[in-house]
Amino acid sequence: MTSTKPASPLPPPGPDAPRDASRLGTGLAWVVLLILAGLSSARALRGDAVWLLLVWGAYTPFVLLPAYVILGLAVRRGQRLLALGSLALVVAHLVAVVPQVFSRAPSSDALQSPLRVVTANGNGWNQHPDETLRNLSHFDADLVCLQEVSPTWLDALRDEGWLDLYPHQHLDVREGVWGMALLSRLPLRNIDARDLNEAPGIQAEVQHMGRTVHVFCVHPAPPAGDFVASHLDALERILLWAEAHQSDSAVLLGDLNSTPYSDFSSALRAHMDDAWELAGPIGLGHTWPNNGLMYPPARLDHVYVTRSLGVSRVQRALAASSDHAPVIADIVLHAR
């Protein structure tokens, strides 16, 4: 009969173990900080010209959050240089995000009733567009910019009475996700369906309170895969339209597939105001994804107005069966 010798207990951790763990944590914090700083600096220099930097900028509210953790770690461990580096990123994050969350200036300079507009990406693969339309009906809009209008959507528009409710319309129905529709209770004048690559942009004019209001309903391709160049080209054309109409009363609306932190949005603000920033509820106003998809949320659906217009209220709807939340804006006329 053989006897087994009992295993020796593991030796207790040496006195240097906590110090080694602390050094490892600090080293990892430096690695993360340098990556964050490198990507942020690259985007500041290159803008959205590179796809990775475009995505980095799009998710500005999230990508710099690790800097807060690093700052806390650095302060706790007395790492002054690490604290200063992470503090710089925290400040940059706050400068970019806080105005989006809190800065609001709704207009009270209204001449009688507002013009209520809606932008809604209904999802071209939506098998229940009737549910989405019933949800939107509650908002009683004057003008609707509808994206991803497929033959199924056309049937739903007809069955739900929307083609009668909005007798003035321009429809470009397509299979898949590139169809567009501009629907209005007010007469549409000078309709021009402009080429924006995959989906057309529908331009028109309406008369509201005796004033001509220019409208541009758009849906650029998303900046993914083979569509990146098309996306940037479409945004450039939209920007040219905004510049040409900055002295007019004009409204730009649609799924821009661009967030408020993009180069395009920064350039567009020179000519138009973001309705959400003027009169939206407190918060980031994410509109996508709206159906539980596991993607970081983003505000892709927008309404912009020129300086001769104001916005008294902006809302989001929870559109059934669509991956985008519609945006509803009440637009008012500033006195000239």
- Tens digits of per-residue pLDDT, 298-333? 999 999 999 999 999 999 987 667 889 999 999 999
Based on the domain organization, do 88 and 201 belong to the same domain?
A: no
- Would you mind telling me the total number of residues written for the chain in this entry? 336
Residue showing tokens 């229940």? 128
CA distance 100 to 309: 20
Domain that holds residue 190: 115-333
Based on the domain organization, do 177 and 300 belong to the same domain?
A: yes
Based on the domain organization, do 182 and 316 belong to the same domain?
A: yes
Report the run of H or E that residue 233 belongs to, with start and end. Answer: helix 228-244
Domain limit, last residue, from 59, 81, 102: 102
Report yes or no on 223 lying in a domain: yes
- pLDDT confidence bin for 13, thresholds 50/70/90: low
Report yes or no on 107 lying in a domain: no
β partners of residue 303 = 253
Residue pLDDT, tens place only, 187-219: 999 999 988 999 999 999 999 999 999 999 999
Residue pLDDT, tens place only, 264-282: 999 999 999 999 999 988 8
DSSP letter at 42? H
Report yes or no on 205 lying in a domain: yes
Report yes or no on 108 lying in a domain: no
Domain limit, last residue, from 69, 102, 135: 102
Based on the domain organization, do 82 and 152 belong to the same domain?
A: no
CA 109 vs. chain centroid, Å, equals 27
Based on the domain organization, do 143 and 73 belong to the same domain?
A: no
CATH number at residue 326: 3.60.10.10
CA distance 120 to 95: 30
Report yes or no on 109 lying in a domain: no
Report yes or no on 6 lying in a domain: no
Residue 269: what pLDDT?
96
CA 87 vs. chain centroid, Å, equals 27
Based on the domain organization, do 238 and 317 belong to the same domain?
A: yes
CA distance 282 to 284: 7
Based on the domain organization, do 75 and 154 belong to the same domain?
A: no
Which tokens is 31 given?
């690695």
Based on the domain organization, do 79 and 119 belong to the same domain?
A: no
Based on the domain organization, do 152 and 60 belong to the same domain?
A: no
- Residue 245, by phi and psi: left (phi above 0), alpha (psi -120 to 50) or beta? alpha
Which is nearest to 120 in space by CA: 308, 327, 273?
327
Based on the domain organization, do 246 and 297 belong to the same domain?
A: yes
Tell me what the pLDDT averaged over the chain comes to.
91
Give the total number of structural domains in the chain.
2
Based on the domain organization, do 97 and 193 belong to the same domain?
A: no
Report yes or no on 11 lying in a domain: no
DSSP letter at 176? T
CA distance 272 to 305: 5
pLDDT at 232 > cutoff 50: yes
Report yes or no on 28 lying in a domain: yes
Domain limit, last residue, from 58, 80, 102: 102
Based on the domain organization, do 172 and 266 belong to the same domain?
A: yes
Residue 140, helix vs strand vs coil: coil
